[in-house]
Amino acid sequence: MAPPPGATPSLGPSATLADAGEFRLISELVALFDQGEHVLVGPGDDAAVLRIRGGHVVVSTDLVVEGRHFRRDWASAEDVGHRAAAQNLSDINAMGGRAHSLTVGLAAPADLPVAWALDFARGFAAECALVGASVVGGDLTRASEVVIAVTVLGSCTQAPVLRSGAAPGEVLAITGRQGWAAGGLAVLGRGFRSPRALVEAYRRPEPPYDAGRVAAEAGATSLIDISDGLLADAAHVAADSGVTLDVRTAALDVPEPLLAVGAALNSDPVHLILGGGDDHALLATFPDAGRVPPGWAVVGEVRAAEPDQVGVVTVDGRPYDGPTGWTHF
């Protein structure tokens, strides 16, 4: 019997990860784990939030895999350290919090130079120092390629800002560089090393680490780290909030290096901004433009959604058929 219209078909015993896709797989896995009373926010947001006496602990875990997330011929060990730390620190930022402690697991081939591991640690430590966070433990083991597993812990001085709080009539705003890392990846993928600013942005992102707390204090109703792509991550906000979002391209800042890459590749640089990840900019919704803090730019709006349009993100009021972000499987 066919599933009813709109239903998600069940995964058969021979289904692969590619069949399921990242988010379907996550939903299947999450359903297997019960959450205790101390869990305020469980799996599904940028980080989990745990109740403790006098506040909240914010926790997140990420993996970085050689050949999937980085190449050693494109980024130095220190660059990889910066990238691995940044993507985890940014998850705490995206809850309106600040990271204070991390653990790092490193799996690597036996013939990996010790110097690579030490340089990786130096880069990781330098990125953590930007927010005053400490590496408090970890693990080492052997693997066929470099795999890095990071768990980060932080705290919020106010209620955490989730992805699920956006409401119709609110504004959509962004802070931080967006599209730069995607531009750098596009350049490296074609065997070039310029514009250098974009290549360096890919190698070492510059997340706006204090912006999450500032947004929370200004009354942000939802907040997310743009790790996979502006439109892809905006869709998470729209789905969790039960709304649609519209992004206005005229409001997006297109810096000169992106214009140069667009001209060299004969493509619209706005596509890098809409679909690019790894800069770890922040995307948030605010009740109105007057509540948007300095350093943030209004780039769209929140709209009410019909039942079959929940989670939809449009561009300039129309469906978007270009790449929306990173696909893990």
Q: What are the DSSP calls for 95-107, one per residue?
A: TT-EEEEEEEEEE
The pLDDT assigned to 58 comes to: 93
Render pLDDT for 241-295 as a digit per residue (tens, 0 to 9): 999 999 999 999 999 999 999 999 899 999 999 999 999 999 999 999 999 999 9
Evaluate the CA torsion angle 309, 311, 316, 322 in order and state its sign: negative
> Does residue 279 contact residue 176 with C-beta atoms inside 8 Å?
yes
Residue 16 is predicted with a pLDDT of 86
Cα angle at 35 between 59 and 239, to 5 degrees?
75
What pLDDT score does 5 carry? Answer: 45
d(CA 2, CA 329): 26
Biggest CA–CA distance in the chain, Å, is 59
pTM assigned to the model = 0.86
For 73-109, write each residue's pLDDT tens digit.
Answer: 999 999 999 999 999 999 999 999 999 998 999 999 9
Which CATH architecture describes the domain 171-315?
A: Alpha-Beta Complex (3.90)
DSSP label of 44: T
Query: So what CATH class is 30-155?
Result: alpha beta
Spatial neighbors of 74 by CB under 8 A, at least 6 apart, are 188, 202, 203
List the alpha helices (DSSP H) in 114-189. Answer: 114-129, 180-189
The domain ranges of the chain are 30-155, 171-315
Q: Please tell me the predicted confidence (pLDDT) of residue 8.
A: 58
Torsion sign (Cα): 168, 325, 176, 273 = negative
pLDDT per position as a tens digit, 31-70: 776 777 877 888 778 778 877 777 788 999 999 999 999 9
Higher pLDDT, 237 or 16: 237
CB 91 within 8 A of CB 131: no
- What confidence score (pLDDT) does residue 33 get? 66
Residue 234's pLDDT band (cuts 50, 70, 90): very high
pLDDT band at 239 (very low <50, low <70, confident <90, very high): very high
Within this chain, domains 30-155 and 171-315 share the same CATH topology:
no
Query: Residue 295's CB: how many other CB atoms inside 10 A?
Result: 13
**Chain mean pLDDT for the chain:** 91
**Token pair of 129 as six digits:** 């120092």
For 182-228, the pLDDT digits (tens) are 999 999 999 988 899 999 999 999 999 999 999 999 999 999 999 99
pLDDT over 90 at 18, yes or no: no
List pLDDT tens digits, range 121-179.
999 999 999 999 999 888 888 899 999 999 999 999 889 999 999 999 999 999 999 99
